[in-house]
Structure 1
């Protein structure tokens, strides 16, 4: 009997357009002989099922079901394709766990920790995971530009603490630009992390649970045409994404081991994509994404393809793992 799969997409953050693209790729890739796939749009003002004619049907939030005419549909599994809030920060995970509905993303705690850059780095540092120097600011805190420079130096990165797709991120080269960068970051979140600039090779490492085992996918090297791997570089072709990355065997072994170690320390499940920069030959963690882009052009699907895993296989495995 075919399984009913709800593909949730959209969300409450600036990443919603990217999420809709990811969700539709999943919808198109799932085997119709095996699954009944339903596109579910999650927005602040509405949760709706969208059918082939683009007709919308409201979701009953009491049990996450839909009623089309007199027929009620419930779901065997949820495929989470929401980047940012509420799909990547633990909210949807907690909701589905309370309802007892399997989902393809990590659990609520892991989602909350990884979505909060400051908390993630704090949890991992005792395990020897190397990171950039950092300085924290909350909205309303006094801003001391010189204290920031003394801690992290220039250039530095000013980032929204809980945001993705490089929204709210600025690279700052001079003291006079710090305040403007902070204002940009506060448009995305009320917490900020300011990090020292790490000059070196940047790589992205996908780690997934595949057929019951932790699998590190082929590593991607990021070469941005812009000053850093910003929104344009990620989504508008202003970067080279080279898979497999041009690493020495020693570098590859180090980042492979580190990415797997982080995934297992955090007791992760589902998808993850971690970003590292090599400094003095050692990989330094920047962040981890637990709902990475899933379009055909996105990094993790590119890595899966190099590993011999098609989109259909990648998504099918995620559902099978969730249903176990």
Structure 2
């Protein structure tokens, strides 16, 4: 019997459109021989199944819906929500209360890894190099001189809980710092200020595949802009080279660290970690636990280079989930 799969997409953050694109690709590539997929929009306006122009409201008591008088229960939820509430764990906590399998890591791991500064606190404990950093909460006093003295210039100002480079600024002068902080606060009440790392940026996909942790081919990021911002990620303002132009020694070191990050953060399912290589040493930036899933997105490109099709990639995510129930 076919399994009913809810592909959840949308969310409550600035990444709604990106998430809808990822969810649509998952919907198109799931095998109709094995699954009956449904596009489930989790958006500010409500929770509903979208079929063409028709919508069916989700019953939040058990995450089901009624179509033509028949109640449809889902066997698994494929999480394609970037940002809140899918990537930060809150929606997944609800699913776990319902004992409904999903394709992401458990809610606590998702909440931890969505919080950049909490993730860094764990990573640093395992002696993995990172940038220097300063944390600020909304309402904190801001000592520009002290920040610059500790972090240096240029530096990056980031919302602590946000994705797709929304709210991020590269700061070159002291005068740019306060406007950059104000911009970041528009996305989150917590921000992170990090030192600039001068080196090659690489992105490393790590997934569970057929009951093993697999490190996918590494992607080198060459941005046309000042850094890998929204335009570079989604509007073609970057070159993504897979496999990255690395020596065998560099590649082995990065692969080992990326796998270690996945393991110490107790990840499941998809992940994509970002690193800057400085003098041959990979420095961890962040981890994305609901990476983009369109044909043009980095992780699917890496999977294709490895020899995994989109249909197989998405099928595996569901299969892994079923094996853990």
Query: TM-score, length-normalised on structure 2?
Result: 0.99
* Equivalent residue number for residue 174 of structure 1: 173
2:282 matched to 1:283? Answer: yes
Q: Which runs of 5+ in 1 are unaligned?
A: none
Query: In 1, distance between residues paired with 2:188 and 2:320?
Result: 33
* Equivalent residue number for residue 153 of structure 1: 152
SS at match of 1:48: strand
Query: In 2, distance between residues paired with 1:235 and 1:278?
Result: 23
* Equivalent residue number for residue 64 of structure 2: 65
Q: Superposed, which structure 2 residues align to 1:124-135 within 5 Å?
A: 124-135=123-134
- Runs (4 or more) in structure 1 with deviation over 4 Å come to none
* Equivalent residue number for residue 17 of structure 1: 17
2:269 matched to 1:274? Answer: no
Query: In 1, distance between residues paired with 2:177 and 2:123?
Result: 28
Query: In 2, distance between residues paired with 1:256 and 1:211?
Result: 19
Q: Superposed, which structure 2 residues align to 1:279-318 within 5 Å?
A: 279-318=278-317
Q: Superposed, which structure 2 residues align to 1:1-324 within 5 Å?
A: 1-51=1-51, 53-324=52-323
SS at match of 1:67: strand
Q: Which runs of 5+ in 2 are unaligned?
A: none
Residue by residue over 1:14-48, the C-alpha shift from the partner in whole angstroms, topping out at 9 and shown as x without a partner, is 00100000000000000111100000000122001
Residue by residue over 1:116-161, the C-alpha shift from the partner in whole angstroms, topping out at 9 and shown as x without a partner, is 0000000111111110000011000011111110111000000000
Residue by residue over 1:60-115, the C-alpha shift from the partner in whole angstroms, topping out at 9 and shown as x without a partner, is 00000001131100100000000000000011111111000100011111101100
Q: How much has 1:267 moved relative to structure 2? A: 1.5
Residue by residue over 1:269-320, the C-alpha shift from the partner in whole angstroms, topping out at 9 and shown as x without a partner, is 0000000000121000000000000000000000000000000000000000
Q: How much has 1:54 moved relative to structure 2? A: 2.3
Residue by residue over 1:155-206, the C-alpha shift from the partner in whole angstroms, topping out at 9 and shown as x without a partner, is 0000000000000100000000101000110000000000000000000000
Query: In 1, distance between residues paired with 2:220 and 2:264?
Result: 24
Query: In 1, distance between residues paired with 2:85 and 2:207?
Result: 21
Residue by residue over 1:226-277, the C-alpha shift from the partner in whole angstroms, topping out at 9 and shown as x without a partner, is 0000000000000000000001111101110000011111121000000000
Over the residues paired in the alignment, what is the CA RMSD in angstroms? Answer: 0.5
Query: TM-score, length-normalised on structure 1?
Result: 0.99
Query: In 2, distance between residues paired with 1:292 and 1:259?
Result: 15
Query: In 2, distance between residues paired with 1:250 and 1:148?
Result: 35
Query: In 1, distance between residues paired with 2:257 and 2:177?
Result: 32
